[in-house]
Amino acid sequence: MGYKSWFETHAQKHEALVAKLKTQGIAGEALVAYFVFENMVKCEPDFCPLYARGKKCHDRAYLNCFLCACPHFRFKDEGLHVRENGVVVKSVCAANARFAKRFVYEGVEHLDCSACVVPHNKAFVRKYLGKTWKEAMQECEVK
């Protein structure tokens, strides 16, 4: 599945889950707590393919899954821009995060978020409560 189809599928899944939880009175801080990795593995096993293996996308004690992917991630399949050396940049971090890394494969530059846990922090998730997942993802402009 390409990024675009994953994005649309995940947006629907996320919105359906948040709507279901709302009918159960789960919102605000309770919603933040619900999306903690350990609870999601137990209560929403189909939300992420990694749950079946009990595997986290980042090896850290606290991992919140509410903002997978990251609102700062920007991607364009046709390329966002081309570097002077001809490398096509397809994804960037709109926040220029400290732990954002890049790699080039077959003339295409990609963003590597593996060392960054910004979207999985509780304080960061709190900022986006009240927005749909899609609204959260589209908040940042590419710099």
**Is the Cβ of residue 26 or residue 36 nearer to ligand SF4 in the bound state?**
36
Q: How far apart are CA 43 and CA 47, in angstroms?
A: 9
Partners of 75 in beta bridges: 91
Q: How far apart are CA 34 and CA 45, in angstroms?
A: 13
Which one among 17, 18, 34, 119 touches ligand SF4, defined by CB under 6 A? Answer: 119
Q: How big, in percent rounded to 5, are the helix, strand and coil portions of the chain?
A: 40, 15, 45
**Is the Cβ of residue 26 or residue 95 nearer to ligand SF4 in the bound state?**
95
Q: Which stretch binds ligand SF4 (CB under 6 A): 19-27, 54-62, 77-85, 116-124?
A: 116-124
For the CB of residue 42, give the shortest distance to ligand SF4 in the complex, in Å. Answer: 25
Note whether 89 binds ligand SF4 by CB under 6 A. Answer: no
In angstroms, the Cα distances linking 41 to 56, 65, 94 are 10, 10, 30
Note whether 116 binds ligand SF4 by CB under 6 A. Answer: yes
Cβ contact 69:119 at 8 Å: yes
Which one among 95, 121, 129, 134 touches ligand SF4, defined by CB under 6 A? Answer: 95
Binding site residues, ligand SF4, CB under 6 A: 70, 72-73, 93, 95, 97, 100, 111, 113, 116, 118-119
